[in-house]
Amino acid sequence: MACVKMIHSLYEDGCEGSPSSPIRFKGQDYEQLKESLLSKGRKFEDKTFPANLDSLGKLENLSPKQLKEVEWLRPHDLNPDSSFIEDGTSRFDFKQGNVGNCWFLSSIGAMTLHKELVAAVVPRDQSFQDNYAGIFHFRFWRFGKWVDVVIDDFLPTRNKEPVSVSSRSQKEFWAPLLEKAYAKVCGSYGDMIAGNPPEAFKDFGGGVHMNYKLYEDTSDLWDVMDRAIQSKTMMGCGAFTGDKGKDICKRFGLVDGHVFAVTGVKRLEIDGNSINLVRIWNPWGEKEWTGDWSDKSATWKAVGEEDRNECLNKRNDGEFWMSMKDFCTYFEEMDICCESPNFICGDEGEWNCSLKEGRWEEGASAGGCDSQSEEFWTNPQFRLTVKGGEEEETDRERQTEEESEGTKNVLLSLLQRPDEEHRSKLKYHYIGFTIFKVPDKAPRGRLPQSLFLEEWPLKVSEFKKSRELIEFHTLEPGEYLIIPSTYDPHKTGGFIITIYSKAETDIE
């Protein structure tokens, strides 16, 4: 099982932003609000996210006329027998509605495979029966801190049918309310349209995210997925867009440009040969793969009865199996988010995790990526000390040069934190890292401009225009200077830098 030890983080348990003491989103205190409502016999109406068109936002699947027909109703108005959770949480509890947020709903489906993750995001002390006051709350990991988001339970409907995600049983409402809480964080339901699973994965608990392009070399990907599925891991995949995506959709029943959850892997033995299968779920709750290993495929006849009964489910629930080969052929990319990097390398050892917050400010601390420029030294600086004992030194001496180069012991993550409140208006910079080896006798504190004019960087990362940049590195014991920066100078924005390390480290 993966193991991560948090050190030097933004918070310790009990401090503001920790799991036990989350930050109150919009300053709203769930317990105090609920107690006040119960004492007055009232139901909550959230003035910070009111039941109106502004909170609904622009929905591409609804015309202006249809938007005006939207009526906000509480769950009891839709079903007098409403419940928050029945028999646990499952990806089969809900299906996508008229909001194009398959990336978010597929991520919820992946999260439900791990009850610990669900418990962190969806507090269970909520009900439509006991002490009901029309108020609910959910928790998200937002840029290194846990945030508690309070909502009322008014849901957007047309003709008493949910506009957005709906309950398959028509009585269980944890998923529609969770979606509303995330819409509030994003600015509106419309602000949730279009995205990628890693964004929601991170907001469901942080962790390490890796992206895999399935059209590239995937020879070791099955092993990575097999290791990942055994840990607290969320996986998602994206279908091709354009003409290729439409052709695949027409031939095999998939949805072009759509995001799915990866919910399982299985190795089967057939006539002495093994075949690797991948299980995938469509958040629409329907529209499944029709090729080999689909629900009605004849390929299942070659499988033993025990494996067939375990895997095969002929319901139209959006979930299906396909071979690893077809998965890498008919899907474009896959994302994995896990508590620790162990799923990548197969090492079950402990990782240290250091998390720090920083900011680039135009004219003050946004020096760009050119280490020879006069402004570069103004960028935020993080000094990392990688420690190593005698045992580690001996192990390194035994390694060949090739083995040593392949031993990645430090993972760096740079996560942008834009200032814009509405998700659809976010603009990300090109970001990356520059790493220097700190010279002997270097002064403490910030290193001066002269160092960067005299020393060449040890490593320079790729610069990407993305929400998060992640890179693995091999760093020998010693002291390093890590400088996160935007590609161009004079860019303003916040960031979170996270360092996972196999060796003992100090960061300042």
- What is the arithmetic mean of pLDDT over 146-156? 97
The one-character DSSP state at 172 is B
Tokens 């049918």 -> residue: 161
- What is the arithmetic mean of pLDDT over 432-445? 87
> Taking 60 as the threshold, does the pLDDT of residue 166 lie above it?
yes
Q: What is the pLDDT of residue 404?
A: 41
Among 55, 29, 85, 28, residue whose Cα is nearest residue 154: 55
Q: What is the pLDDT of residue 175?
A: 95
d(CA 351, CA 134): 42
Tokens (6 digits) for 291 = 């090729």
Q: What is the pLDDT of residue 316?
A: 77
Dump pLDDT digits (tens) for 178-206: 999 999 999 999 999 998 999 999 999 88
Among 413, 424, 416, 110, residue whose Cα is nearest residue 237: 110
Q: What is the pLDDT of residue 388?
A: 72
d(CA 278, CA 325): 9
> Taking 70 as the threshold, does the pLDDT of residue 406 lie above it?
no
Burial 273-289 (b: 16+ CB within 10 A, else e): eebbbbbbbbbbbebbb
d(CA 493, CA 490): 10
* 141-150, 169-178, 183-192, 264-273: least confident range: 264-273
- What is the arithmetic mean of pLDDT over 369-380? 92
Going by pLDDT thresholds of 50, 70 and 90, the confidence category of residue 399 is very low
Residue 396, Cβ density class (10 Å: 0-12 exposed, 13-18 middle, ≥19 buried): middle
The one-character DSSP state at 17 is T
> Taking 50 as the threshold, does the pLDDT of residue 55 lie above it?
yes
CA atoms within 13 A on the CB side of 266: 19
List C-alpha distances in Å: 105 to 61, 67, 97, 197, 306: 17, 22, 10, 9, 31
Q: What is the pLDDT of residue 394?
A: 44
- 132-136, 169-173, 442-446, 469-473: range with highest mean pLDDT: 132-136
Q: What's the one-letter identity of residue 343?
A: F
Percent of the chain whose pLDDT exceeds 70: 93
> Taking 70 as the threshold, does the pLDDT of residue 7 lie above it?
no
Q: What's the one-letter identity of residue 490?
A: H
Neighbours of 39 (CB within 10 A): 9
Phi, psi (rounded to 5 degrees) for 501: -140, 140
- What is the arithmetic mean of pLDDT over 37-65? 93
Q: State the chain's mean pLDDT as an integer.
A: 88
**8 Å CB contact between 151 and 70:** no
Q: What is the pLDDT of residue 408?
A: 77
d(CA 102, CA 105): 5
Q: What domains, with CATH codes, occur in the chain? A: 11-192 (no CATH), 208-338 (3.90.70.10), 350-507 (2.60.120.380)
Dump pLDDT digits (tens) for 347-368: 667 888 888 999 999 989 999 9
> Taking 70 as the threshold, does the pLDDT of residue 9 lie above it?
no
> Taking 90 as the threshold, does the pLDDT of residue 218 lie above it?
no
Residues with Cβ within 8 Å of 247's Cβ and at least 6 positions away in sequence, in order, are none
Tokens (6 digits) for 144 = 């290194």
Catalytic residues: 102, 258, 282
Q: Return the higher-pLDDT residue of 16 and 119.
A: 119
Decide: helix, strand or coil at residue 190.
Answer: helix
Q: What is the pLDDT of residue 5?
A: 56
Q: What is the pLDDT of residue 389?
A: 52
Among 386, 36, 336, 372, residue whose Cα is nearest residue 207: 336
**8 Å CB contact between 140 and 146:** yes
Residues with Cβ within 8 Å of 97's Cβ and at least 6 positions away in sequence, in order, are 162, 163, 164, 165, 166
Could you give the dihedral angle defined by the CA atoms of residues 131, 136, 139 and 142, in that order, rounded to the nearest 10 degrees? -150
d(CA 362, CA 360): 7
Going by pLDDT thresholds of 50, 70 and 90, the confidence category of residue 23 is very high
d(CA 177, CA 30): 15
CA atoms within 13 A on the CB side of 296: 7
List C-alpha distances in Å: 464 to 161, 320, 416: 42, 34, 11
